[in-house]
Each structure stands twice: as structure tokens, then as C-alpha cells.
Amino acid sequence: MANRTQFEINGALDTNNNVLDNLNTLANAAGCFLTWDPNKGQWVVILNTTSNSIKSFSDSNILGDINVSGSGLTELFNAVSAKFPNSDTRDTIDVVELTTPDADRFEEEIDNTLEITLPYTNDPVQAQYIAARELKQSRLDTIIEFSTNFEANTLKAGDLID
């Protein structure tokens, strides 16, 4: 089996865009995201991957109510259309389209397509991988809100908790 680079940046950076937009687009193509770390006073990169929990929450450190919410059926994406410059066709714009299998959709779920552009990805396999990741993660949207004690002050966006 041949080895393949999982993430690779291929494309010209548009200096007319603001810096943060360019960095976020590059981060998406590289399988990560940027967040501001107030403890360090700088932007940090968080890998978009599975990992172990770094902090546990329970009755001992949750203060008050716990609110659980998520998107409604009309806000769920069940298809993705990703445009990218395909290197196999001399960087002409190509499209990868993926859909969620019917077995994974909810009853009465309407068709809703997530449209993304991948200007720094010119490999069809990588574009398909990114599109699949974005579609799957867009369907995982449970939001749990609670207040906690000072022990959680070291957590930052993207940290995995349980």
C-alpha cells in the first residue's frame, strides 16, 4: 500500500483577503483550526483529531443548571458540495459531492447541502476527505452549557472533556 500525505497545502494565497481569513482557510485544509488562547495571549493551532479527554466534569465541579441543546432538523446538513482546483485537470474547478446515507438521516429531515470552497486543496482524494469530515462533524452539534469552578480556567476551545 502506498503512503499518502494526509494534508497538504496546494494553492496560491490571496493577499487581498485579511490575514485571519487566510489562516482559517489554510487551517481547514491542514486538518486543524485556530483559536485565541487568552492564557498565552496568542493564536494557537488545535488539531482536528480524536484524542483522550483532558478534563472531567461531575457534580463536584459543575455549579448550577446543565442545559443541553442542538440544531433542529431544518438546520442539519445531509450533503456537501466542495469546490476545489483539481490538479488532474490543470487546476480547473472541480466539485466533490457527498451525501449522508438514508439510514443515518432523521425522519422528516429536509435536504440541506453544505457548500464549501477549498482553494488550497488541489488533490481530489484530499478534497473528498475534507468534505466528508466537514459533513460528518456538521451533524454532531450537541451543545452542553454549564458553569464550573476555577479548575476549568486552563481549558481552551477545542479541548476534549467528559
Per-residue pLDDT at 77: 94
Per-residue pLDDT at 2: 59
- Return the ∠ at Cα 63 (arms to 60 and 65), rounded to 5°: 120
Confidence band for 1, pLDDT divided at 50, 70 and 90: very low
Mean pLDDT of 121-141: 90
* Whether residue 70 has pLDDT greater than 50: yes
* Whether residue 49 has pLDDT greater than 50: yes
Backbone angles phi, psi at 114, to 5 degrees: -85, 125
What share of the chain has pLDDT > 90, as a percent? 40
Per-residue pLDDT at 4: 65
Indicate the angle between helix axes 124-138 and 19-29, nearest 10 degrees: 100
**Amino acid in the structure at residue 134:** E
Over the stretch 101-124, which tens digit does the pLDDT of each residue have? Answer: 999 998 888 999 999 999 988 889
**Amino acid in the structure at residue 101:** P
